[in-house]
Amino acid sequence: MADILRVEGLTKRYGAFEAVADLSFAVAEREVLGLLGRNGAGKSTTIKLLCNLIRPTAGQAWLAGQPILGVRGAEHRRGLGAMVEAPRFYPQLSGRRNLELLARIRGVDGARVQEMLETVGLAARARERFDRYSMGMKQRLGLAAVFLHRPGLIILDEPTSGLDPVGRQQIHDLIRALSRDLGVSLLVCSHHFSEVETLCGRALVLDHGRRVLDQSLAGPEGIAAVKAKFQELTAELNERRESA
């Protein structure tokens, strides 16, 4: 299967500190790839680099064969949908109004906005202000926004951050249903092993900005390998914290 996203030699340095170091990976069409790592592993920086929020020190990424980093214009981002860190919307506007603003920029019609509101279960409360939404409702609106224009690749950064177990389960079900229906590729960034295990078919474990494991989660051996590596990294961090 062809790659929807290809990343080569991605590097981000802040002075002497290397947040992401020579990172290379690819996401195939319809694949769900998990970026797993403890806090500070370089996951969010990778996502921000791919979303054009920060500029790379070195490296390039291709979305559907087109380079996307350090490129003039923004047409190359048309096939991308991303929720970075948390769903961010204008608090004084309603959920529907927020989606409508994004839809107009993306050239999506009003019927699709209504369809997405119904899909994520917010149609009945679409006229309420965004700042009156619960955390779960905000996450669902965020998902509606990233799936709105039927992109080829969706990037989700900590999609269940701040949710209780029931809320997390609901969001996981929604992500699975939406990605299955649209046949999109997903890049999910998380520091919860269970989240990556639930959503992803392959995991890329990061530490200190470097790839330490690239493993399929198709079988129990793969799952065990990723879990063991992640636990090892987490234990190492805990030891360092205790000694400090």
Partner 1 sequence: MILELARQEAIKLFSQRFAWALPVLVLALQAASMIVTALRPPETSLDALSGPQLWADGVGLGLRMSVFLLLVVGAMSFSREFSLGTAKTMLVLPIPRRHWLAGKLVALLALAAALLLAVALLAAVIVAATVGWGPVAREGVVLYTTGQALAHAAAAVAVTLPLLAPLCACALLVGLHFSSSGAAVGVAVLLGLVLETAVNLLDSGARFVFFQHLPRAILLVGRLGRGLAFQWEPILTWGLGVAAVSFAVFVAWLAWRLERMDIAQ
| Contact status: 104 vs partner 1 (CB under 8 A) | yes
Residue 108 and residue 18: Cα distance in Å, rounded? Answer: 39
| Contact status: 86 vs partner 1 (CB under 8 A) | yes
For 228, list phi and psi in degrees, rounded to 5.
-65, -45
| Contact status: 73 vs partner 1 (CB under 8 A) | yes
Q: Smaller CB distance to partner 1: residue 149 or 211? A: 149
Q: Are 215 and 182 in contact (CB under 8 A)?
A: no
The CB-of-179 to partner 1 minimum distance in angstroms stands at 18
| Contact status: 127 vs partner 1 (CB under 8 A) | no
Residue 117 and residue 125: Cα distance in Å, rounded? Answer: 9
The CB-of-212 to partner 1 minimum distance in angstroms stands at 23
User: Which stretch, 30-38, 86-94, 183-191, 195-203, contacts partner 1 (CB under 8 A)?
Assistant: 86-94
Tokens matching residue 127: 């006229």
**Whole-Å CA distances, 158 to 77, 114, 216, 225:** 21, 26, 20, 22
User: Which stretch, 28-36, 101-109, 168-176, 207-215, contacts partner 1 (CB under 8 A)?
Assistant: 101-109
Which residue in 2, 17, 72, 166 binds partner 1 (CB under 8 A)?
A: 72
* DSSP 8-state secondary structure symbol assigned to residue 158: S
What SS3 class is residue 226? helix
The CB-of-24 to partner 1 minimum distance in angstroms stands at 22
Q: Fill in the amino acid letter for 218.
A: A
Q: Smaller CB distance to partner 1: residue 148 or 163? A: 148
Tokens matching residue 113: 């906005």
Nearest to 180 by CA among 218, 154, 141: 154
The CB-of-73 to partner 1 minimum distance in angstroms stands at 6
Residue 121 and residue 142: Cα distance in Å, rounded? Answer: 12
| Contact status: 135 vs partner 1 (CB under 8 A) | no
User: Which stretch, 89-97, 114-122, 183-191, 216-224, contacts partner 1 (CB under 8 A)?
Assistant: 89-97
| Contact status: 101 vs partner 1 (CB under 8 A) | yes
Which residue in 9, 70, 88, 164 binds partner 1 (CB under 8 A)?
A: 88
Residue 128 CA, chain-centre distance (Å), reads 26
Tokens matching residue 244: 């400090």
Q: Which of residues 136-165 bind partner 1 (CB under 8 A)?
A: 145
Residues near partner 1 (CB under 8 A) are 48, 51-55, 72-78, 80-82, 84-86, 88-93, 97, 101-102, 104-106, 145
